Amino acid sequence: MKTLKITLASLLIISLASCKKEGKTIKTSADSLITKKDSVVVPEIYKEYYGIYTGEFAGKGMITSEDGEEYEGDIYKKISLKINRITKDSVYGQSIVEGNQRPFRGVFNESSNSFVLDEPGNDKTDGRFEVKLKNDSITGKWTAFNKSAVKAPSKILKLIKKEFVYNPNFMLDENSDLIDWENPKDFVEKYTDEETGKTETYTSSKNRVASDAVFKINASTQKLTEEELKNLRKLDMEIIKNAVFARHGYAFKKQTYRSFFEQTDWYIPVSNNVDNELSPMEKDNVALLNRFIKYAEDKYDQFGR
């Protein structure tokens, strides 16, 4: 009787083996649905419209002056719209403003050559783009979903299509403004009247200033040494370091760095993380610069706006 005793588990193993022998596979109804879904490929259209469109992003909003007063004025920013994919029913891409990268999804109207693109809506800066495409330019408007959460709830866009290219030789324009206007520092200074001999103290606001070294040292093409860095200003080294990231299209959140690189015609923000794009030498140079930046001193000067 021992030889006739076959368990249910044994029968299942034999059944599966038989199916494999015949080249068959066993799928559940759920497996079949997944396979069917994955096998459907939605065709892409208008691939010639894919790419990066960058330019002016401007609107009316409340501005706070240096003395703390508020007034309505023009708010200008730089924006990049990156169109990644277009199908019959959907458009996919991302917007980048002030280092804030947001995905969008929308539709393309073939008859009017226009897009309606919505950011997710879970960030206070999200909104809707209603723009029109003509040749290599995009114009139109953006409207915030939450109008009370942003300074300028409606903005106009004027963008030009640009191709992002990494070039290790890109440098700041030698006519660039080398002043960090965003981080002034107050200094207490003394003044002595020559006639009375009386000394008074007053507070002076000064700004960090870079030197011409930022036009000569390239951390993407040359191996930096401690000797080259030891006498540089802190802002010099910050610019030299961040030029590495700018060449790879990093979208800076800090206005200080954006203001320097937006003065060039080559800087195009495309991503908020480019760490994996850096070459081994660039990574070594960035690490060395970080060590020196930690202990470097700034050079301040007094400027009027």
DSSP collapsed to 3 states, 4-49: HCCCHHHHHHHHHHHHHHCCCCCCCHHHHHHHHHHCCCCCCCCHHH
Residue 153 to residue 141: CA distance in whole angstroms: 10
| Six-digit token string for 88 | 């019959």
pLDDT at 284 over 70: yes
- Identity (one letter) of the amino acid at 80? S
Coil vs helix vs strand at 235? helix
pLDDT at 199 over 90: no
Helix (H) or strand (E) holding 255: helix 255-261
- Say what the pLDDT of residue 122 is: 94
DSSP state of 75: E
Domain boundaries, the chain: 47-162, 179-301
Q: Which residue has the higher pLDDT, 162 or 64?
A: 162
Q: Report, as an integer, the average pLDDT of 292-301.
A: 91
Instruction: Please spell the DSSP secondary structure of 133-155, one letter per residue.
Output: EETTEEEEEEEESSTTSSS-SEE
pLDDT at 204 over 90: no
DSSP state of 277: G
Exposure of 43 in the CB half-sphere (CA atoms within 13 A): 3
pLDDT at 157 over 80: yes
By percentage, how much of the chain surpasses pLDDT 90?
69
pLDDT at 9 over 80: no
Helix axes 234-247, 280-293, angle to 10 degrees: 160
Give the confidence band of 142 by pLDDT, cuts at 50, 70, 90: very high
Equal CATH topology for 47-162 and 179-301: no
Fold of 47-162: Lipocalin (2.40.128)
User: Under 8 Å CB-to-CB from 201, ≥6 apart: which residues?
Assistant: 188, 189, 190, 191
Which has the minimum average pLDDT: 86-90, 237-241, 253-257, 298-302?
A: 298-302
Q: Report, as an integer, the average pLDDT of 20-47.
A: 58
Going by CATH, does the domain composed of 179-301 fall within 3.90.226.30?
no
* Phi, psi (degrees; rounded to nearest 5) at 41: -110, 120
pLDDT at 113 over 70: yes
Residue 281 to residue 287: CA distance in whole angstroms: 10
pLDDT at 261 over 50: yes
| Six-digit token string for 56 | 């002016």
| Six-digit token string for 161 | 């299509």
pLDDT at 137 over 90: yes
Q: Report, as an integer, the average pLDDT of 203-216.
A: 93
Number of Cβ atoms within 10 Å of the Cβ of 136: 12
Number of Cβ atoms within 10 Å of the Cβ of 102: 17
- Say what the pLDDT of residue 64 is: 73
- Kindly tell me the sign of the dihedral angle through the C-alpha atoms of 3, 7, 11, 13: negative
pLDDT at 8 over 70: no
Q: Report, as an integer, the average pLDDT of 135-145.
A: 96
| Six-digit token string for 284 | 């070594």
Exposure of 191 in the CB half-sphere (CA atoms within 13 A): 7
Q: Report, as an integer, the average pLDDT of 291-298.
A: 93
Q: Which residue has the higher pLDDT, 165 or 301?
A: 165
pLDDT at 31 over 80: no
The mean of the pLDDT values for the chain is 86
| Six-digit token string for 197 | 């001999």
For residue range 41-80, list pLDDT tens digits in order: 789 999 999 999 999 999 987 777 666 777 778 888 899 9
pLDDT at 288 over 50: yes
